[in-house]
Amino acid sequence: YTGLQRLEAAGIDGEFVVVEYAGGDRLYVPVAALHLLSRYTGAAPENAPLHKLGSGQWERAKRKAAKQVSDAAAELLDLYARREARPGHAFGLSEADYIAFSAAFPFEETADQQAAIEAVIADLRSAKPMDRVVCGDVGFGKTEVA
C-alpha cells in the first residue's frame, strides 16, 4: 500500500488505493472495493515477499500454504484418531472419600471451579485417556481444582 490517489477511469472520477508490486507495478483499487484488500500480517513488513503483478507467484504461494494447512490438519486428525483409539484407565472414585478430601479445603468453590472439578472427575472415571487443561487467572484456585 503506497497511499490514496484520485484518478479518472472510464470517465469516472474517484479515489483509489494504490498497491505496489515487485518491479514497480501498481494496482489501483477503487475505495468502494476496499473490502477486497486485507492487511499483511506475516513476517516483518520489510521482509515481506513482493510478487510481480500477473506472474503467478501469489497463486503458487497460496497453493503451497493451502497444502501446508491440509497436511497439518491431516496430521492432527491422525493424532486425535490414535488418541481416541488408545485405551485408558477408568479410576474408581469413592464419593465419600472425595467429600472428606474436599471438606479439608478452606474455601468455597465458585460455580466455574465446581464445573471444572466435575469435568475432571468425569474424565477420571472415563476409560478414555484424559486430555484436559485447567486455565484461569493467577490466584483463582487452579491448583485446588486440579
Q: According to DSSP H, which parts of the chain are helical?
A: 57-85, 95-103, 111-125, 142-145
Could you list the pLDDT tens digit for every one of the 146 residues in the chain? 889 999 987 787 899 999 988 888 999 999 989 999 988 887 787 787 788 888 888 889 889 999 999 999 999 999 999 988 888 889 888 888 888 888 888 888 888 888 888 898 899 898 888 888 888 888 777 777 76
Q: Are 109 and 117 in contact (CB under 8 A)?
A: yes
Give the integer Cα–Cα distance in Å for 95 and 16.
69
Q: Are 39 and 48 in contact (CB under 8 A)?
A: no
